[in-house]
Amino acid sequence: LEYVGECLQRANHDLDILDLCWQENPKFAIENFFKESSYDLVGITLRNTDDCAFSSSQSFLSEIKEISNQIQANTDGCIVFGGVGYSTMPILIHKMTSVKFGIRGEGEFAFLQFIRELENDREWSRVANLVWQSNGKWIKNKKETFDLAMLPIMKRNIFDSQKFFKFGGQMGIETKRGCDRSCIYCADPVAKGNTIRMRPPTQVGEELENLYSQGIDCFHTCDSEFNQPEWHSKEICNEIINRGLAGKIQWYAYCSPKPFTSDLARQMKKAGCCGINFGVDNGDETMLAKLGRSYKPSDIQHVVHVCHQNDIPVMLDLMFGAPGESRSSIQKTIELMDKSSPDRVGAAVGVRVYPNTNIASRIGKDISIDGLIQQDNPYAPVFYIEPSVSPFIFEWMTELTRDDDKYLFFNPEKAEQNYNYNDNSRLVEAIGKGYKGAYWDILRKFKGSVDNAGKNR
C-alpha cells in the first residue's frame, strides 16, 4: 500500500492513511476517520484472506466483510480493493462484500489509470487489472504488467516505519515481482504474474538507504524467490555492498533450491544476508515432480551445505499431504531433513487450494476430490490432504519428529514449536524483548521468557 500511496503522491493526489493495524477498535477508528474529511476515492488493501494453515484454518473474510461494510456506511467515495490477498480471489471477495471495484496484481500504475477514468470518462474497460461489474456480470480486465524501472524511488515514509519495525521485527523490501514457475499449489504466479520482472538495483539500494536513515536495519525480501534469476540477485548484493550498507543491515530471503550456487551464497553473505528460507515442499523425487518442482532431493542437500559453508542459517519449508503423498514419501522427506541438517524445518500438513491455481483446476479431474476439506461455511479456506495418508499423517509426523527441536509446526497446541506467524504469542514476546529478523530465526534464537541468551542484538 505504501508503494501505491507514494505513486499517488508523486502524481499530486492528496492522500490520507487509516492504518487499522494499530486500532483496538476498527469500527470506532473508521467512524472517526471519515468524520474528519470527505474522500472521492477509498482504496483498501487486503494482504491476507486466511492464514493458509490447515491446523487452524483461520479465515479473515468475515472481518474483511465487516470492515468494508463499515467503510461503505461512512463514505460516499468510490471504494476499490487491492492487495495480494485480494488478487488471489477477487470475484469471491466482491460477491461477499458489496464493493464494486478492485485492482488485482500490481497497483501503482493501474490505480492512477483508475483515477484518470474516475475524473473523466469512467470507461472502466480501459483500466489495466481492474475488476468491475457490467450488466450484473463481473469483468476482469486484462492483466498488465509494467516496467518496474518506471517506479519512483520509494521514500517509505507514508506509514510509521519505526513502529512497524519495532513491533514487526523486520521490514519488507521488494527486488522483483512475479514467478515463471508452475508449482501446482502456488498462488504467487496468480497474484503477482507469471513472468519475473526485476527492479533496477539502484532503485532497491536507494530505498534501503531511505529506510536505514529512519533507523530500520533488518529486512525480509518480498520477492516470490529472491534467487530467480541469479544474475539479478547478485547485482542486488553488489549494490548493497557498493553502497557500504552490508555491514550495517541484516536481511533474510525466500529462495528456491535451484539454481542456487555457492557463488551466490558467498555474495549474499557478504551483502549482509543472515538467513534463507527455502520452500522445498518434499524430499521425495517423485513427489517433487508431482508438485511441479524442477529440483531433486540432492539439490536440497546441496543448498543447505553451501549456505552452511558460508555461515548462513537455513530454514526448509515442507508441505505434507499433497496429491500422491505416501508413507514412503513422508519417510524419505524426514530422512532427507536428518541427512541435510538445516537449522529449522517448517512442517505444514495440508495444501491450501487457492482459486485459479493448477491444483484447483485439477481437483475432480485427475486429483481425488475425496482429499478436499472444506467446512460448512462457503468462505472457509479449502485444503487438500491425500486421502491415503490422512488417517495417520498427524500422529505419524509427531512420532517421526518427536524430541527434535529443529521442527516447527502449524500447531497452536505446541506453542514452543508453533510457526504460524499469524497467531504466535511467543513471537510477539520475543520481538517485544528486542529480537529482530525472519520469524523462524527469531523462534530459533528465542529460548523463552526466562532465557535471553542468543539475543540478536
Between 159 and 326, CB nearer to ligand B12: 159
The single residue among 55, 74, 87, 161 that binds ligand B12, judged by CB under 6 A, is: 87
**Dihedral, CA of residue 133, residue 135, residue 140 and residue 144, to nearest 10:** -90
CB atoms within 10 A of CB 309: 12
Q: How far apart are CA 89 and CA 87, in angstroms?
A: 6
- Quick note: the x/- pattern for ligand SF4 over 121-160, rule CB under 6 A, is ----------------------------------------
- C-beta closer to ligand B12: residue 104 or 302: 104
Q: Which of 183, 236, 393, 438 binds ligand SF4 (CB under 6 A)?
A: 183
Question: Which residue in this structure is represented by grid cell 490432504?
Answer: 385
Q: What angle do CA 154, 158, 162 make, to 5 degrees?
A: 95
Q: Partners of 275 in the beta sheet?
A: 252
Which residue stretch of 38-46, 183-191, 239-247, 436-444 sits at the interface with ligand SF4 (rule: CB under 6 A)?
183-191
CB-based contact 436:456 (threshold 8 Å): yes
By CB under 6 A, the residues from 361 to 380 that bind ligand B12 are none
- Minimum CB distance to ligand B12, residue 391 (Å): 25
- To the nearest 10 degrees (0 to 180), the angle between helices 2-10 and 108-119 is 50
221 counts as binding ligand SF4 under rule CB under 6 A: no
The answer to whether residue 53 forms part of the interface with ligand B12 (CB under 6 A) is yes
Query: Which of 6, 30, 33, 50: binder of ligand B12 (CB under 6 A)?
Result: 50
Kind of pairing between the strands at 101-103 and 78-82: parallel
Does an H or E element contain 276, and which? strand 273-281
At its nearest, how many Å lie between ligand SF4 and the CB of residue 179? 3
Query: CA 79, CA 75: separation in Å to the nearest integer?
Result: 9
Q: Which is nearer to ligand B12, 164 or 295 (CB)?
A: 164
Determine which residue in the list 30, 55, 175, 188 makes contact with ligand B12, applying CB under 6 A: 188
Contact between 426 and 412 under an 8 Å Cβ cutoff? The reply is no
Please report whether residue 193 would count as binding ligand SF4 according to CB under 6 A: no
* DSSP three-state, residue 408: strand
Q: Which does 246 bind (CB under 5 to 8 A by kind): ligand SF4, ligand B12, none?
A: none
Segment interacting with ligand B12 (CB under 6 A) among 8-16, 81-89, 328-336, 361-369: 81-89
Alpha helices (runs of H) in 243-373, residue ranges in sequence order: 262-270, 285-290, 297-309, 327-340, 358-362
For 417, phi then psi, to 5°, come to -120, 15
369: cell is 476430490
- Distance of closest approach, residue 292 Cβ to ligand SF4, in angstroms: 7
Q: Does 257 bind ligand SF4 (CB under 6 A)?
A: no
Q: Choose, by CB under 6 A, the member of 256, 267, 329, 424 that binds ligand SF4.
A: 256
Contact 18, 29 (CB under 8 A): yes
> According to CB under 6 A, which one of 181, 270, 308, 414 is a site residue for ligand SF4?
181
If one counts every other C-beta atom within 10 angstroms of the C-beta of residue 280, the result is 29
Q: Which residues here bind ligand B12, judged by CB under 6 A?
A: 1, 3-4, 43-45, 47-53, 80, 82-85, 87-88, 103, 106-108, 111, 170-172, 174, 186-188, 191-192, 220, 222, 224, 420-422, 439
Q: Which residues here bind ligand SF4, judged by CB under 6 A?
A: 179, 181, 183, 186, 188-189, 224-225, 256, 279
